[in-house]
């Protein structure tokens, strides 16, 4: 059949070339598309491939189609992947992969280990400097981030890449947030020493810009619900961050309590602080089905504060809570 294979077959042949011999030839025979009457195949001389180095790579695309490349024709690609570290709160694994130009179908199979990683950069050509035998990844110093190599040195040797029939992860490092509060976005430039292309790889660190936003780069967290035993803690946090208690009615509406409930508290309590205490206690008891509207959590409280233009209070509470959790 002359139809393309679903997955091309890659053959790697090591051929002895040495001394005064600078090149050699490999002869390829191909079978006919259809067998003879006695169900045998006739093999015919298909083509000769000139070999300019010790290796040749032959890709079989279908039964009657073939392409080949020697080491002189092999190119390299690079791509950066990252993945949230499962045990670290604000810790990410990164891996910059450099590999030779396998057929795409084979690359997809070789990259199977990275199926659950996120591709940070597009695949690019990697070109060694004219006299370079290795590429080294140099990590910068970052404010509020620790950038740590997982293996040392972070290097790919050209002769090793040419011999490999798999994709190795030789450039692994970690990014760990060490600043206050939640991670903020930072531009990072990694230098590739020994490469003429690319000379650097640039990307942005992961960030959480808002506590109530589910950032795709951060492992999902289940926030613990508050209950009436947390009432004094909630009130203390509001007071310490200069919350305006006169907005208690708007706040508790945003928390999910009903208008009739709040009107009853207004009739029964003498001042705004007492009304705030009473409505927060009801919220912590999950009155008026507040669980259907976000539940009784710090995140829900901070979001409600922002919705009533108490953003400074919400932000200070978030930063204080984040610092205590680090």
Is pLDDT at 313 greater than 70 in this prediction? yes
Angle at 128 between CA 127 and CA 133, to 5 degrees: 155
pLDDT of 26 > 90? The answer is: no
What token pair was written down for 162? 């040419």
Calculate the CA 33 to chain-centre distance. Answer: 46
In this predicted model, what pLDDT tens digit does every residue of 83-113 receive, in sequence order? 988 776 789 999 999 998 876 667 777 888 8
Confidence at residue 110, expressed as pLDDT on a 0 to 100 scale: 82
CB 111 within 8 A of CB 94: no
CATH class label, 76-204: mainly beta
DSSP string, 37-93: TTS---EEEEEEEEESSSEEEEEEEETTEEEEEEGGG--EEEEEEEEE-TT-TTEEE
How far apart CA 142 and CA 140 sit, in angstroms, is 6
Between residues 307 and 79, the one the model is more confident about: 79
Which regions of the chain carry the CATH code 2.60.40.2660? 76-204
Arithmetic mean of pLDDT, 298-303:
89
Q: How far apart are CA 167 and CA 111, in angstroms?
A: 7
* 266 or 27, greater pLDDT: 266
- Residues 221-266 have pLDDT tens digits of 456 789 999 999 999 999 999 999 999 999 999 999 999 999 988 8
Domain 228-325: assigned CATH number: 1.10.533.10
Looking at the predicted structure, is the pLDDT value of residue 294 above 80?
A: no
Residue 98, φ and ψ in degrees, nearest 5: -125, 130
Q: In this predicted structure, what is the pLDDT of residue 98?
A: 96
Indicate the pTM of the whole model. Answer: 0.48
| Domain span(s) for CATH 1.10.533.10 in the chain | 228-325
* Chain mean pLDDT for the chain: 80
């Amino acid at each position: 059949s002359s139809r393309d294979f679903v997955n091309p077959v890659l053959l790697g042949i090591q051929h002895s070339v040495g001394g005064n011999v600078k090149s050699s030839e490999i002869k390829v025979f191909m079978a006919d598309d259809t067998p003879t009457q006695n169900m045998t195949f006739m093999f015919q001389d298909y083509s000769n491939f000139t070999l300019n180095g010790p290796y040749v790579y032959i890709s079989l695309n279908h039964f009657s189609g073939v392409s080949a490349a020697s080491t002189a024709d092999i190119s390299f690609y690079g791509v950066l992947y990252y993945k949230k570290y499962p045990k670290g709160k604000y810790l990410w694994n990164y891996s910059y992969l450099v590999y030779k130009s396998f057929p795409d179908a084979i690359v997809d199979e070789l990259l199977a280990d990275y199926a659950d990683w996120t591709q940070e950069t597009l695949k690019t050509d990697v070109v060694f400097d004219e006299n370079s035998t290795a590429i080294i990844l140099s990590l910068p110093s970052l404010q509020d981030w620790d950038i740590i190599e997982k293996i040392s040195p972070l290097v790919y040797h050209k002769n090793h890449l040419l011999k490999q029939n798999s994709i190795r992860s030789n450039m692994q490092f970690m990014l760990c947030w060490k600043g206050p509060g939640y991670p903020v976005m930072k531009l990072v430039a990694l230098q590739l020493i020994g490469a003429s292309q690319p000379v650097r790889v640039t990307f942005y660190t992961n960030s959480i810009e808002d506590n109530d936003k589910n950032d795709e780069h951060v492992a999902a967290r289940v926030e613990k619900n508050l209950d009436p035993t947390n009432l004094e803690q909630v009130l203390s946090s509001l007071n310490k961050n200069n919350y305006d208690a006169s907005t208690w009615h708007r706040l508790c509406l945003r928390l999910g309590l009903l208008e009739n409930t709040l009107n009853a508290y207004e009739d029964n309590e003498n001042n705004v602080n007492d009304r705030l205490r009473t409505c927060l206690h009801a919220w912590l008891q999950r009155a008026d089905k507040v669980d259907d509207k976000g539940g009784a959590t710090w995140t829900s409280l901070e979001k409600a504060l922002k919705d009533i233009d108490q953003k400074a209070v919400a932000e200070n509470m978030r930063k204080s809570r984040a610092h205590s959790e680090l």
